C-alpha cells in the first residue's frame, strides 16, 4: 500500500510517459537533468522552502508562547485550548475558501483597513510580493493548534518541584524558561518541527484554492502543486514523477537530519 506506489513513481520518473502518447520510453536521468536546470522548477522549489521555513519557525514560536499562557487549569483555559485546536481538524479546502473570501481585494479585511484610513490596502492574494507570505500565515493559523497541544503536553511533563525550586532560588521567569522549561520541552520541539516540516513541504490544497499557484507566473506554486499540474493538466506523468521523486528525497533527507540534530539536543539536556 505504501512502498509499491512510491517505487512505481520513482520508476516512472525515469521515463517519458504521457497520457497522450501510446509508447513510453526509458529516458534515464533526462527528466532530473531538465528539472535541476529549469528556472520554473527552481522557483517552485524556492517557494516551497520559504513557505516551509516561515511556517516551522513562526508556528513553533507562537505555539510555545500560547502554550505557556494556556498551561493553567480552569474552564476558560480548557475552552481556549479547544478553540486553538479547532482549525487543525477543519478541512484545508474549507479554511482556504473562508480566508480567500476575507482577503480578496474587495473582501472584509481590506474593507476594514479602508475604514481606518488605509486607502490602498495590500493585495493579499493578488500581489506576487505579498501572496506567498499570506499563504504562509494561513498555514500557520491552521497548524498552530497542533503545536500548542504538543507543547502543552510537554509542559505538563515538567515536574512542579523543579519549577518551585527554581523560583525559591530567585530565578526570574525568563531564567526559568531558558534554563528549565526550554531544555525540558526539547522532545516537543522535535516532534513539532518534523511534523510541521513534512506537512508544509507537501502542501497543495491551500495553494490550489487560494492562488492557484499565482498571482503571475508561479509566485506561490509549490512542488506538490507543480506535480499535480504537470501530471493531470499537462499529462506528463514521467516529468511529474521525477518532481515527486525529488520532493521525496528532499523531505526524507531534511526530516532525518532535523530529527537527528534535535534528538541530539534532547540527549545533551
Look up the CATH number of the domain holding residue 55. Answer: 1.10.3720.10
In a domain, residue 128? The reply is yes
**232 in any annotated domain:** no
140-152: per-residue pLDDT in tens?
999 999 999 999 9
In this predicted model, what pLDDT tens digit does every residue of 140-190 receive, in sequence order? 999 999 999 999 999 998 888 888 888 888 888 889 888 889 989 999 999
- CA-wise closest residue to 152 among 68, 77, 268, 258: 68
pLDDT number for residue 11: 94
Residue 15 lies in a domain: no
C-alpha cell at position 52:
516551509
Q: Is the dihedral of CA 60, 61, 62, 66 positive or negative?
A: positive
Mean pLDDT, the chain, integer? 92
258 grid coordinates = 532535523
Structural domain for 124, as ranges: 43-222+252-268
- Cα distances (Å, whole numbers) of residue 254 to 99, 196, 262: 30, 12, 12
Residue 5: inside a domain, yes or no?
A: no
Q: How much of the chain exceeds pLDDT 90, in percent?
A: 74
Residue 30 in domain: no
Residue 119 domain flag: yes
Q: Report yes or no on 155 lying in a domain.
A: yes
Q: Is residue 103 part of a domain?
A: yes
Q: Count how many domains the chain has.
A: 1
Amino acid at each position: 500500500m505504501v512502498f509499491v506506489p512510491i517505487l512505481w513513481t520513482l520508476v516512472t520518473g525515469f521515463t517519458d510517459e504521457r497520457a497522450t502518447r501510446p509508447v513510453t520510453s526509458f529516458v534515464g536521468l533526462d527528466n532530473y537533468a531538465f528539472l535541476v536546470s529549469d528556472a520554473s522548477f527552481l522557483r517552485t522549489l524556492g517557494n516551497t522552502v520559504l513557505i516551509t521555513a516561515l511556517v516551522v519557525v513562526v508556528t513553533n514560536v507562537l505555539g510555545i508562547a500560547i502554550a505557556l499562557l494556556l498551561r493553567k487549569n480552569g474552564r476558560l483555559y480548557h475552552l481556549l485550548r479547544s478553540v486553538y485546536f479547532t482549525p487543525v481538524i477543519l478541512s484545508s479546502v474549507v479554511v482556504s475558501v473562508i480566508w480567500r473570501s476575507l482577503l480578496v481585494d474587495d473582501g472584509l479585511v481590506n474593507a476594514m483597513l479602508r475604514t481606518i484610513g488605509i486607502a490602498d490596502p495590500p493585495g493579499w492574494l493578488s500581489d506576487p510580493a505579498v501572496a506567498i507570505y499570506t499563504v504562509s500565515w494561513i498555514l500557520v493559523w491552521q497548524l498552530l493548534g497542533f503545536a500548542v497541544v504538543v507543547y502543552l503536553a510537554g509542559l505538563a511533563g515538567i515536574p512542579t518541584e523543579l519549577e518551585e525550586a527554581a523560583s525559591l532560588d530567585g530565578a526570574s521567569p525568563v531564567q526559568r524558561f531558558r534554563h528549565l522549561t526550554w531544555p525540558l520541552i526539547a522532545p516537543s520541539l522535535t516532534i513539532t518541527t518534523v511534523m510541521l516540516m513534512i506537512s508544509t513541504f507537501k502542501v497543495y490544497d491551500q495553494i490550489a484554492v487560494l492562488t492557484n499557484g499565482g498571482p503571475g507566473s508561479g509566485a506561490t506554486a509549490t512542488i506538490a502543486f507543480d506535480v499535480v499540474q504537470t501530471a493531470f493538466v499537462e499529462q506528463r506523468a514521467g516529468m511529474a514523477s521525477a518532481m515527486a521523486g525529488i520532493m521525496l528525497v528532499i523531505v526524507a533527507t531534511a526530516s532525518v537530519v532535523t530529527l537527528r540534530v534535535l534528538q541530539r539536543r534532547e540527549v545533551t539536556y
